[in-house]
């Protein structure tokens, strides 16, 4: 009888969990640009781990309740949101759709929810 344990084949166990995310092409382009500026090209996964680690190391929980936007910045953001809604609505109407149809309608709803959230946070 052989007392030696057989070596297991495959990836060794690690204390981690897979996290899958979907990114817009613009964000991926920025990540790839950052990666290509490094001496050794890190994988996208390595880049995302780096970004998360760096963000969390610099994140100050004690400032979590502070409003990161000034009143002027908030007004500008709300104005830009309204421009986006108006532009999307115009494009939908030109395509013969109503503002609540398709992806454009979903985008309008998301923007509206964010505007409501910003206004709620500003009033509290």
In a domain? residue 34: yes
In a domain? residue 16: no
In a domain? residue 117: yes
Same domain, 41 and 80: no
What region does 63 belong to: left with phi over 0, alpha with psi -120 to 50, or beta?
alpha
Distance CA 46, CA 43 (A): 5
Same domain, 84 and 46: no
Query: What DSSP designation does 12 have?
Result: P
Element (H, E) at 51: helix 44-58
Same domain, 81 and 113: yes
User: How many domains does one find in the chain?
Assistant: 2
- What is the pTM for the complete model shown? 0.42
What region does 85 belong to: left with phi over 0, alpha with psi -120 to 50, or beta?
alpha
Same domain, 38 and 75: no
In a domain? residue 105: yes
Profile the chain (124 residues) by mean pLDDT over runs of 10 residues: 69 77 86 91 89 80 64 78 78 78 75 78 68
In a domain? residue 106: yes
Distance CA 91, CA 98 (A): 10
């Amino acid at each position: 009888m052989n007392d030696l344990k057989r070596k297991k084949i495959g990836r060794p166990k690690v204390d981690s969990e897979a996290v899958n995310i979907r990114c817009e092409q613009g964000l991926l382009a920025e990540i790839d640009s950052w990666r290509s500026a490094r001496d050794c090209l890190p994988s996208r996964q390595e880049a995302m781990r780096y970004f998360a680690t760096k963000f969390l190391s610099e994140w100050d929980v004690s400032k979590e309740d502070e409003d990161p936007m000034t009143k002027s910045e908030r007004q500008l953001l709300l104005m830009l949101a309204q421009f986006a809604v108006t532009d999307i609505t115009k494009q939908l109407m030109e395509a013969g759709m109503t503002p609540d149809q398709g992806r454009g309608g979903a985008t309008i709803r998301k923007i509206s929810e964010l505007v409501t959230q910003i206004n709620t946070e500003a009033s509290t």
